[in-house]
Amino acid sequence: ELPGFSVQVNLSAAEIKRLADRIIAKSKETYDAVAAVPLDKVNFANAIAPLAELDAQQFPLVQACVLPRMVSPSEDICRASAEAEKRLDSHFLLCRQREDVYRVVKAFTERGERIGPEATRFVQYLVREFERNGAKLTQTKKKEMEKLKSLIDDLNLKYIQNMNDFTKFLLLSEEELAGMPLEFLKDLEETDGKRKVLLTGYYVTPILEHCKVGSTRKQIAVAYGQKGGNQNVAILEKLVQIRHRLARLLGYSNYSDFAIEPRMPMTSRKVLEFLEEMSEQLSDLANRELTVLKELKMKEEGDAQFGMEDLLYYMKRGEQHKVDLDIGEIKRYFPVKLVISGMLKMFQDLFGRILPIKHYNTTIH
């Protein structure tokens, strides 16, 4: 276990599977016990406390199952962790859809039993989660909800797959990449006397920040913005329609209200009010800053037409112009090994933890 965290680490693939089995079994046992409480005998101790204690007890256990997927160097352990996460997510969703447990929790809220603010907040959270997962829908509407959710999941997966399958690249000369640091150019594969630029954030962002050639920045920005192509545009159009149908089925005016409800604003109206207020307060400042950026472009390129592809580059130029700051020069004094060791030391000092080095040839991912 990690000191102070109660999260088990370094579990084997088999141990992760067994732990996930245990979590699911205990969860089902607790939910079954709550569902068995007669509605006329519901109280905090037999209806709410078991669910609250279950959440608290299982949180570190769930983390022990899902954390290895993100940090383990072992393919078997990563695969076991991903499978455990999928099983646990599916199980917890089914738990929050149980009508029998929802009826017991709802019966408790109607009794008016006096409880503390934290307990009140937890009960409100429970009711909301059950209702957002369709616990109070008829069987016909539940089937429709499951169908819509399945369609949404499939479309989301297809959208991501299209993005991942995007392998387009551009071949650019060193003149077209003027302004790029030498170490960046060295990292690019050379083909027929030109540099091969993959359209990933790792390469695109530095070019938009440092390339002096406006036509190159525009070419890169346009190509990068087409990831997924018309296929993903069609997917987004379908997703908007299906999400709206799902929100209406669950009793919301639109999907925005459904998505925002668990968050601090709670309604899309409040979000729009906030954005409008911020827009009014910041419009003059934004226009003044845009004017400065346009002037910089006019001086450097003789062109005042300002596109999104120019934003990062001239923001950097504005910083250099205002404070005479050269990030490339500063980076020389902060090599990666020095920065990482310094960050780890700060972490140790801040949290009072010792991070022992297991092996001096350890690779940091």
Question: What is the spatial distance between Cα 365 and Cα 359, in angstroms, rounded to a whole number?
Answer: 14
- Pair (53, 107) in one structural domain: yes
- Pair (176, 126) in one structural domain: no
Tell me whether strands 189-191 and 169-172 are parallel, antiparallel or unpaired.
unpaired
**334 within domain boundaries:** no
**109 within domain boundaries:** yes
End position of a domain, from candidates 136, 151, 184:
136
Q: What is the pLDDT of residue 4?
A: 47
- Pair (96, 180) in one structural domain: no
Q: What is the pLDDT of residue 325?
A: 67
- Pair (19, 125) in one structural domain: yes
**98 within domain boundaries:** yes
pLDDT above 70 covers what percent of the chain?
A: 95
Strand partners, 195: 172, 190
User: What would the pLDDT profile of 44-82 be if each residue is shown by its tens digit?
Assistant: 999 999 999 999 999 999 999 999 988 888 999 999 999
User: What would the pLDDT profile of 245-281 be if each residue is shown by its tens digit?
Assistant: 999 999 999 999 999 999 998 999 999 999 999 999 9
**49 within domain boundaries:** yes
Give the CATH number for residue 45: 1.20.1050.40
How many domains is the chain partitioned into structurally? 2
- Pair (31, 120) in one structural domain: yes
Q: What is the pLDDT of residue 175?
A: 95
- Helix axis angle for 268-301 and 308-323, nearest 10°, is 70
Question: Whole-number mean pLDDT of the chain?
Answer: 90
- Pair (123, 193) in one structural domain: no
User: What would the pLDDT profile of 118-134 be if each residue is shown by its tens digit?
Assistant: 999 999 999 999 999 99
pLDDT beyond 80 at 34: yes
Conformational region of residue 6, where left means phi above 0, alpha means psi within -120 to 50, and beta covers everything else: left
End position of a domain, from candidates 227, 250, 270:
227
Q: Say if CB 16 and CB 79 are below 8 A apart.
A: no
User: What would the pLDDT profile of 162-214 be if each residue is shown by its tens digit?
Assistant: 988 888 899 999 999 999 988 899 999 998 889 999 999 899 999 999 999 99
Q: Say if CB 318 and CB 305 are below 8 A apart.
A: no
For the ranges 29-43, 248-262, 325-339, the lowest mean pLDDT is seen at: 325-339
- Is 343 or 1 the better-scoring residue by pLDDT? 343
Residue 69 belongs to what domain range? 13-136
Q: What is the pLDDT of residue 365?
A: 42
Q: What is the pLDDT of residue 359?
A: 57
Distances, alpha carbon 340 to alpha carbons 214, 343, 347, in Å = 35, 5, 11
104: number of Cβ within 10 Å: 23
- Pair (24, 132) in one structural domain: yes
pLDDT above 90 covers what percent of the chain?
A: 72
- Pair (189, 96) in one structural domain: no
What confidence tier does 356 reach under pLDDT thresholds 50, 70, 90? confident
What confidence tier does 358 reach under pLDDT thresholds 50, 70, 90? low
- Pair (106, 195) in one structural domain: no
Strand partners, 171: 196
- Pair (120, 193) in one structural domain: no
- Pair (101, 173) in one structural domain: no
Look up the pTM and report it. Answer: 0.76
**271 within domain boundaries:** no
Q: What is the pLDDT of residue 363?
A: 53
Q: What is the pLDDT of residue 1?
A: 44
**215 within domain boundaries:** yes
**259 within domain boundaries:** no
Q: What is the pLDDT of residue 362?
A: 55
Q: Say if CB 168 and CB 222 are below 8 A apart.
A: no
End position of a domain, from candidates 116, 136, 156:
136
- Pair (29, 131) in one structural domain: yes
**278 within domain boundaries:** no
Distances, alpha carbon 343 to alpha carbons 4, 99, 336, 346, 350, in Å = 20, 49, 10, 5, 10
